[in-house]
Chains A and B, each alone.
Chain A
Amino acid sequence: MKTFILCYLATTMGLSIFIFQDTELKESMQRGSEIYADFCVTCHLEKGEGVANTFPPLAGSDYLIKNREGSIRGIKYGQNGTLIVNNITYKGVMPPMGLEDEEVVDVMNFIANSWGNTTNEIVTLEEVQAIQKK
């Protein structure tokens, strides 16, 4: 009986965290999609496909998935210098967008979970605040 209760508690707790995070993620992504339409879509395009050799893709981007910190830093402070995405080297400049940290969270959650992209962990405000300019 004890084991059952413990199991039950653990499951409901786990589930509630999961569901809670899920709604939180959905809301963040919704806000992020509006940021994306305002600040990002002109270069990275509607489906995050980018422009070959000019504006790196976000959809299916290995950089975005493997270098979460660098991605957040790029959104927060702008991107300069070489960047390798899916084996293609990009040398363009993305000027700083002047987004609030909360907006960086939302747009990052949006791009990391759209067009087939997925992450296990939701991006949080604390995470974005902790990332500093290099």
Chain B
Amino acid sequence: MKNSVLLTCLLIIISYSSCAQDPANEVTIPEKVPFSATLLIDDILAPWGMAFLPDGSLLVTQKTGELYHFKNGKKTSISNTPETYQRGQGGLLDVQVHPDFKNNGWIYLSYASSEGEEKGGHTALMRGQLKNNTLTNHQLLYKASPNTTKGQHFGSRIAFDDKGYVYLTIGERGARDVNPQDISRDGGKIYRFNADGSIPKDNPFYNTKNAKKAIYSYGHRNPQGLVKHPKTGEIWNHEHGPRGGDEINIVKAGANYGWPVITYGINYSGTPITDQTKMEGMEQPIHYWLPSIAPSGMAFITTDTYGADYNGSLLVGSLKFQYLERLEMNGTKVVNREKLMGDIGRVRDVEEGPDGIIYVAVEGKGIYTLTPTK
């Protein structure tokens, strides 16, 4: 009897202490929201990435290979985009615009590419310039290798920081025990380049023998959110966990984010991957989702367009539960989670326009804008 009481107490303690994240990891549904959602573009059914040109017009990629320019209510197809490897989660993926686009005109695209000797594909980054609705001056900046026919985990988000570096995420391509912890291999990494694709000499593994010199951080699974923090200038990412254990991380030079050695998630089948959630020398996420929301797309609200409450919030799309999540932040701590646009569809990307308006890309629907209500 004594033993069983002791055991029960011990179990309770264990179950409490294993919940490392103290605020109830639950999303709330707000009674009122300060916006109404309007479908701006209704015929891009597999949108993946969005970026704005300085004139406020919008570039949208479609996974099936198309790049569109949306300006003054009119959608134009851009020709001469790179050839993409269409398989599983691969295709034409993210788009970003160089911060000094006005002077240099560079547009960056990430995509699944079959370039290389092996069968299959892997993530690539290229840039080009727009001339008369054609993408010209193609420059291939990076192509991960070796190719694989796996359909999973291309990563592929692109972001610029304030120092002129460009970052790219590449997922582990379904080889979790091979790629993420090995810095001599591509996949499961976040990369940092100079804007022309050359590798900065102060990259953390630049002088490490056999390392892929472009690697900036490793131990990632499949990061599909990457954004510069509007105030600190740090790069934040989020990534898909397995079942449970999606994470938000602040990307640090040379840091190991632990996949698959540590994780808050389990296999899809319900079997454990590891019982470790922490380890010396590996980073803890600033937030993790249980259950997984399957996050894609990431943006900070940087204005009072939707009221002072919303300013500073992080927005993340949920593929799995089909809504837009607002994470209220206090520094690096998530203090509240809200479900916006419930049951809208699989939210693939979210961006803040130069006018402070939020744009949301939804699979099977198109591009929504959130119009502030007064």
Interchain CB contact under 8 A, A39 and B88? yes
User: B294 is contacted by which of A37, A42, A91 (Cβ under 8 Å)?
Assistant: A42
What 11 new A-B contacts, CB under 8 Å, besides A42-B294, A51-B320? A38-B151, A38-B152, A39-B88, A42-B268, A46-B269, A54-B322, A92-B363, A93-B363, A95-B64, A98-B85, A98-B87
> Do residues B322 and A97 form an inter-chain contact, with CB atoms below 8 A?
no
Interface assignment of B245: CB less than 8 Å from any CB of chain A: no
Q: Is B86 an interface residue (CB 8 A)?
A: yes
Q: How many B residues touch A, CB cutoff 8 Å?
A: 24
Does A80 count as interface, using CB distance less than 8 angstroms? yes
Residue pairs across A and B with Cβ atoms less than 8 A apart, 26 shown, are A38-B150, A38-B152, A38-B174, A39-B88, A39-B151, A39-B152, A42-B294, A45-B268, A46-B268, A46-B270, A51-B320, A54-B322, A92-B364, A93-B45, A93-B363, A93-B364, A95-B46, A95-B63, A95-B64, A95-B363, A96-B64, A97-B151, A98-B85, A98-B87, A98-B90, A98-B151
**Chain B residues closer than 8 Å to A46, beta-carbon distance:** 268-270
* Residues of chain A contacted by B364 (CB below 8 angstroms): 80, 91-93
Tell me if A41 is interfacial: C-beta within 8 Å of chain B.
Answer: yes
- How far apart are the CA atoms of A45 and B269 in the complex, in Å? 9
The answer to whether the Cβ of B345 comes within 8 Å of any Cβ in the partner chain is: yes
B238 to chain A, nearest CB (A): 16
Name the B residues within 8 Å of A51 (CB-CB).
320
Complex Cα distance A24/B69, Å?
50
* Complex Cα gap A51–B322 (Å): 11
Interface residues of B (CB under 8 A from A): 45-46, 63-64, 85-88, 90-91, 150-152, 174, 268-270, 294, 320, 322, 345-346, 363-364
CB neighbours (8 Å) of A42 from chain B are 268, 294
- Interface centre among B64, B86, B87, by most A CB within 10 Å? B87
Is the CB–CB distance between B86 and A98 below 8 Å? Answer: yes
Residues in A neighbouring B64, C-beta threshold 8 A: 95-96
Q: Is the CB of A93 within 8 A of B88?
A: no
**Given A45-B268, A46-B269, is A97 in contact with B46 using a C-beta cutoff of 8 Å?**
no
Q: Is the CB of A97 within 8 A of B363?
A: no
> How far is A98 from B88 in the complex, measured between Cα atoms in Å?
6
> A38-B152, A42-B294 known; A97 and B87 CB under 8 Å?
yes
List the interface of chain A (C-beta within 8 A of B): 37-39, 41-42, 45-46, 51, 54, 80, 91-93, 95-99
- From B88, B150, B363, residue with most partner A Cβ within 10 Å: B88
Residues of chain B within 8 A of A95, CB atoms compared = 46, 63-64, 91, 363
Taken together as a complex, chains A and B put the C-alpha atoms of A41 and B64 apart, in Å, by: 21
- Cα of A91 to Cα of B63 in the assembled complex, Å: 19
Bound-state Cα–Cα, A117 to B270, Å = 22
Residues of A within 8 A of B294 (CB): 42
In the bound complex, how far is the Cα of B329 from the Cα of A76, in angstroms?
43
Query: Interface centre among A51, A54, A93, A95, by most B CB within 10 Å?
Result: A95
Within the complex, what minimum Cβ distance (angstroms) separates B29 from chain A? 17
- For the complex, give the distance between the alpha carbons of A8 and B286 in Å: 71
For A93, the closest partner residue in chain B by CB is B364
Contacting pair A92 B345 (CB below 8 A): yes
In the complex, chain B residues whose CB is within 8 Å of the CB of A45 = 268
In-complex Cβ contact of B88 among A54, A80, A91, A97 (8 A): A97
Q: How far is the CA of A38 from the CA of B364 in the complex (A)?
A: 22
CA distance A98 to B90 in the complex (A): 9
Nearest CB of chain B from residue A50's CB, rounded to whole Å: 12
Chain B minimum-CB-distance residue to A91: B364
Cβ of B45 and Cβ of A80 under 8 Å apart?
Answer: yes
Closest residue on chain A to residue B174 by CB atoms? A38
With A38-B88, A38-B174 in contact, do A93 and B270 touch (Cβ < 8 Å)?
no
User: A41: which B residues are within 8 A, CB to CB?
Assistant: 268
Q: Which 4 pairs between the two chains have the least Cβ-Cβ distance?
A: A98-B87, A93-B364, A98-B86, A39-B151
A42 to B64, CA, bound (A): 20
Contact B150 A93 (CB under 8 A): no
Residues of A within 8 A of B346 (CB): 92
Query: What is the CB-to-nearest-CB distance from B243 to chain A, in angstroms, rounded to a whole number?
Result: 9
- For A91, the chain B residues whose CB sits under 8 A away are 364
Most buried by B among A41, A80, A98, A99: A98
Q: In angstroms, how far is the closest chain B Cβ from the Cβ of A57? A: 16
A93 in contact with B46 given A38-B152, A39-B88, A98-B151 (CB within 8 Å): yes
Residues of A within 8 A of B320 (CB): 51
